[in-house]
Amino acid sequence: MKKQSRKVVIAGNWKMNKTRPEAAELAKQLADVAKAPNVEVVVCVPFTNLETVVNEFSLAAVKVGAQNVHFAKSGAFTGEISTDMLCELGVQYVIIGHSERRQYFGETDATVNSRTKAALDAGLTPLMCIGELLEEREAGITEEVLARQTKLAFAGFTAEEVCKTVIAYEPVWAIGTGKTATAAQAGEACGFIRGVVAKLYGADVADAVTIQYGGSMNAQNAAELLAQEDVDGGLIGGASLVAEDFKAIIKAAVDGN
Ligand code: 13P
């Protein structure tokens, strides 16, 4: 299967930004994003903004995602949110294992695996994040890290579950630093991850799975990054907070598709 037949997903990650009125305002500015064949547009917003943004996009082509979800159905997990809570709101996507959660909130490959499984069981599409630290890249172990994270995230998964997961390759050194991976570095890493999936699940599954690049993607560099054979979209932080910039990235994806 060629790049053209894979689903492209352009997802904004608003991280811990926007009060409800601010979220409503940004959503209004994005509500006229046109539906494009094979390019899905998603915004992943703080829990407190989910209902507001789902309502703003009720007639729009933009889908809504959360930034985390717990693996248990319900229970004594103070501060956590369940898949049922997200689905009932009309949420369709969820970011899992973002490097900021791994770095600051004790997320591990094992919890990424459990959360991804729970999301899939509930019918949510996980945007499952992996990526190497700067010191890992400098030590020449990028591929080792990506292979380990991919294998552990998918441990016990069926081929169908892997196909339904979106993998987001986010090199930690490129997040919020203004330091983008070059298009070649992004393409190479996404291609390597696809190869790991191929070894585990075969070429058909690897060819079908959507792999995004994330890390300082912006209106200027999006077209070149998205043109890479193995880059099927983007997970965008800073630039997704400015409607004009996010729309330019969406346009780059649609034009290049
Ligand atoms: P920036 O686009 O701000 O670098 O953030 C990337 C990211 O972490 C998306 O999840």
Give the 3-state DSSP-derived string for the chain, with helices as H, strands as E and coil as C.
Answer: CCHHHCCEEEEEECCCCCCHHHHHHHHHHHCCCCCECCEEEEEECCHHHHHHHHHHCCCCCCEEEECCCCCCCCCCCCCCCCHHHHHHHCCCEEEECCHHHHHHCCCCHHHHHHHHHHHHHCCCEEEEEECCCHHHHHCCCHHHHHHHHHHHHCCCCCHHHHHHCEEEECCHHHCCCCCCCCHHHHHHHHHHHHHHHHHHHCHHHHHHCCEEEECCCCCCCHHHHHCCCCCCEEEECHHHHCHHHHHHHHHHHHHHC
pLDDT tens, 5-60?
A: 899 999 999 999 999 999 999 999 999 999 999 999 999 999 999 999 999 999 99
Q: What is the pLDDT of residue 252?
A: 97
The pLDDT > 90 percentage for the chain reads 95
Q: If you measure from the C-alpha of residue 126 to the centroid of ligand 1, how many angstroms do you get, rounded to a whole number? A: 17
Q: What is the pLDDT of residue 102?
A: 97
Catalytic residues: 98, 170
Candidate of 10, 13, 44, 67 to mutate for ligand 1, largest count of ligand atoms within 8 Å of Cβ:
13
Nearest Cα residue to atom 1 of ligand 1: 237
pLDDT tens, 53-89?
A: 999 999 999 999 999 999 999 999 999 999 999 999 9
Q: What is the pLDDT of residue 241?
A: 98
Q: What is the pLDDT of residue 176?
A: 81
Q: Does 2 have pLDDT greater than 90?
A: no
Q: What is the pLDDT of residue 1?
A: 54
pLDDT tens, 102-128?
A: 999 999 999 999 999 999 999 999 999
Q: What is the pLDDT of residue 257?
A: 82
Q: If you measure from the C-alpha of residue 235 to the centroid of ligand 1, how many angstroms do you get, rounded to a whole number? A: 7
Q: If you measure from the C-alpha of residue 240 to the centroid of ligand 1, how many angstroms do you get, rounded to a whole number? A: 9
The pLDDT > 70 percentage for the chain reads 100
Q: If you measure from the C-alpha of residue 75 to the centroid of ligand 1, how many angstroms do you get, rounded to a whole number? A: 32
pTM given for the model? 0.97
pLDDT tens, 128-155?
A: 999 999 999 999 999 999 999 999 999 9
pLDDT tens, 212-237?
A: 999 999 999 999 999 999 999 999 99
Q: Does 93 have pLDDT greater than 70?
A: yes
Q: What is the pLDDT of residue 49?
A: 98
Pocket of ligand 1 (CB under 6 A): 13, 98, 170, 175-176, 214-217, 235-239
